[in-house]
Structure 1
Amino acid sequence: MTQRMPRRSSGLQWAWFAAATAGGIPVGLLWWLLAPGGLNLITRDPALGEGTNPLVWLPRDLTLAGLLVFAGCLLAVFITDKSRRSRQEDLVLALAGSLAGAAVAWQTGMFAAQLWGAPADTSINASVAFSLRSLPVLLLWPAATAIGTFAFSLLTLLRQGPEGTAGPVGRDAASGA
């Protein structure tokens, strides 16, 4: 007689991958809306509105970097939700999805610039067009997700105490105080 082990639905696990990947679309649109060289809603400075100004390139990359870190922290909060049991498979799929989501955000922002932005003459430099000069920025979303998940999990373990009770941290168990 064979004994069957109950399997967890893999659809819920893949939901983390799909949600993180699909999250790249609004992040990319926000990048184009907020960044200098895009619609430039943060500064609204006309001097920073065009990509021909080299001073635009770093803030444009940093805008995407900030959005990706925020998205990673938000994903970490959802992964470490206390109402459900956290699983390693969820984290791995969320990290893979966040890497894919960062790439989707990058491409969505560049596509939005092509659709709604002014045409750019890239004969001087390719960075004149709305683009990302520093590709390692795309690693910030999975990094923020991993670090945030680690921090939330560590804080949860510290809050539970050494025996897994919900006791306060830092009290001396021998003195009872």
Structure 2
Amino acid sequence: MKQPSGTGPAPQNPSHHGDAGLPPAYGELYRGDGGSWRVPAAIAAAGIPVGLAWWLLAPGGLNLLSGDPSLATGTNAEGWLPRDLVLAGLFLLAGCVTGFLLDGKRTGAPAPRTVLFAVIGGALGAVVAWQAGVLAGQWWGPAEDTAPNASIAFSLRALAVLAIWPAAVAISVFVANLLSLLGKPRKMDG
């Protein structure tokens, strides 16, 4: 099939409009980038400070959040739920920050592949944070006899908490995109 003279084929990926205030060109948001593995790796690496913050703040660790001396050791079963809740709160915060940083100030939504990698990174970051906190408890925490119950040691009892970070990433990206759509003025025909 021959094209009429004077017209060339349509460009597959038109040039970026930059900061000119124009919407992104077709296909611009969905083009693949070679460094897509960096997103989950950076988010997973963020699990290390989150895990250390968990150990610093939670009962059974340094217990900086409550400051209650009766919750300072893992032998008090009343500190086990707050220990898990501190990690859940940190995961919620990390997931929301990750999602809103992913959206950033760009025009349009992040590519679905980028969001998927961020959710995978959030899951990896949750596991890294959990293990970093447990390791911090083993290194810097008091030696405790875990024969009566394994939860006496600094640990996570509710493994479902690990799903909070990736879920918060997905929800925050959704909310950021929804708010950006609601903020756009409607174009009037006429």
TM-score by length of 2: 0.80
2:168 to 138, 144, 149: 144
Which secondary structure does the structure 2 equivalent of 1:10 belong to?
Answer: coil
Paired with 1:90 and 1:50, the residues of 2 have a C-alpha distance of 41
Stretches of structure 1 that go unaligned for 5 or more consecutive residues are 164-172
1:38 paired to 2:64: no
Q: 1:142 to 1:81 in 2, by over 3 A?
A: same
Q: CA deviation at 1:160?
A: 1.2
Which secondary structure does the structure 2 equivalent of 1:38 belong to?
Answer: coil
Aligned to 2:119: 95
Amino acid at match of 1:88: P
Q: CA deviation at 1:32?
A: 0.2
Q: CA deviation at 1:84?
A: 5.8
Aligned to 1:47: 70
Paired with 2:139 and 2:184, the residues of 1 have a C-alpha distance of 52
Q: 1:121-136 residue pairs with structure 2 within 5 A? A: 121-136=145-160
Paired with 2:40 and 2:81, the residues of 1 have a C-alpha distance of 30
2:48 to 5, 21, 25: 25
Aligned to 1:169: none
Amino acid at match of 1:28: G
Aligned to 2:28: none
CA deviation string 1:77-99 (max 9, x = no partner)? 11111236511111000000100
CA deviation string 1:44-102 (max 9, x = no partner)? 21100000000000000000000000000000111111236511111000000100000
Larger radius of gyration: 2
Aligned to 2:142: 118
Deviation beyond 4 Å, 4+ runs, structure 1: none
1:71 paired to 2:94: yes
Q: CA deviation at 1:43?
A: 1.5
Q: CA RMSD in A?
A: 1.8
Paired with 1:10 and 1:94, the residues of 2 have a C-alpha distance of 15
Q: CA deviation at 1:161?
A: 3.5
Paired with 1:80 and 1:51, the residues of 2 have a C-alpha distance of 40
Stretches of structure 2 that go unaligned for 5 or more consecutive residues are 1-11, 14-30
Q: CA deviation at 1:8?
A: 3.6
Paired with 2:186 and 2:156, the residues of 1 have a C-alpha distance of 46
